[in-house]
Structure 1
């Protein structure tokens, strides 16, 4: 199937961003018992991890923001 994204209500959405070495992020996820129910959006070398239980609208808004920025 295909995911059909709704038109964005606002052209820009802001989200918290944490930047660090990849190894540190992997170690932190393992030590915290990473939540396997969190959706992840991967684009190139970037992984965007959303909150657990993120709605389809939330996921779509992040994808639309990524599409608008590229």
Structure 2
């Protein structure tokens, strides 16, 4: 199932499919620069501290990259 929309509310990020059903919830972090960086139809990128974490449509972490 593909990602249709991603919304950050406070310290959580909610992932929705194309039909608008919530399919995952991911912690956004609490730092000033922490939160949603962007998303595609298959991944969500979230910054926490000095790293970018990539998650799949089910909210499973699939990669970590140092943020610049």
Task: Classify the TM-score, shorter chain.
Answer: under 0.3
Q: Say which one has the larger Rg.
A: 1
- Indicate the structure with greater strand content: 2
TM-score, normalising length: structure 1: 0.26
Q: TM (normalized to structure 2)? A: 0.27
> Which has the larger helix fraction?
1
- Name the structure, 1 or 2, with higher relative contact order (CA <8 Å, separation 6+): 1
